[in-house]
């Protein structure tokens, strides 16, 4: 069975500093991996997805993630945090091409 583990439930950064949100996955075959963001009272928005074309994936709003098979990781990074990045972030694996399996989420707080 596939699963994802988000290693931090809450991450706090200062505006302008780097962001690192950690995710490890478990999959018996080559997975499809995603990061979604959820702002308060808004729907889930896709940040980026890994589809085996390239291990370094660039997404929207300056976010990127690197697929590391040897470490079974798919960490999300951003060089410089902005106040508007404060939200809930979910690491997601695709199960057999249909149902998405979500991690428990990481709350990102950004202080000025």
Partner 1 sequence: GAGVSQSPRYKVAKRGQDVALRCDPISGHVSLFWYQQALGQGPEFLTYFQNEAQLDKSGLPSDRFFAERPEGSVSTLKIQRTQQEDSAVYLCASSLGSRDSALDTQYFGPGTRLTVL
Interacting residue ranges for partner 1, rule: CB under 8 A: 32, 36, 41-46, 49, 51, 90, 94-95, 97-105
Nearer Cβ to partner 1, position 40 or 70? 40
- Of 107, 98, 104, 95, the C-alpha closest to 26 is 95
Q: Which is nearer to partner 1, 31 or 110 (CB)?
A: 31
CB of 74 to partner 1, least distance (A): 15
Q: How far is the CB of 43 from partner 1 (least distance, A)?
A: 4
* CB nearer partner 1, residue 46 or residue 54: 46
Beta-bridge mates of residue 78: 19
Asked if 61 contacts 85 with a C-beta cutoff of 8 angstroms, the reply is yes
Between 20 and 99, CB nearer to partner 1: 99
What minimum distance in Å lies between the beta carbon of 51 and partner 1? 5
Contact 21, 75 (CB under 8 A): yes
66, burial (CB in 10 Å: exposed 0-12, middle 13-18, buried 19+): middle
Please report how close the Cβ of residue 37 comes to partner 1 at its closest, in angstroms.
11
Nearest to 85 by CA among 57, 52, 59, 61: 61
């Amino acid at each position: 069975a596939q699963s994802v583990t988000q290693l931090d439930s809450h991450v706090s950064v200062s505006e302008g500093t780097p962001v690192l949100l950690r995710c490890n996955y478990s999959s018996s075959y080559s997975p499809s991996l995603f990061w979604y963001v959820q702002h308060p009272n808004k729907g889930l928005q896709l940040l980026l997805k890994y589809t085996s074309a390239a291990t370094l994936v660039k997404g929207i709003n300056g976010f990127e993630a690197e697929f590391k098979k040897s470490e079974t990781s798919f960490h999300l990074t951003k060089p410089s945090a902005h106040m508007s990045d404060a939200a809930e972030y979910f690491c997601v694996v695709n199960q057999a091409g249909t149902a998405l399996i979500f991690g428990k989420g990481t709350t990102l707080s950004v202080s000025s």
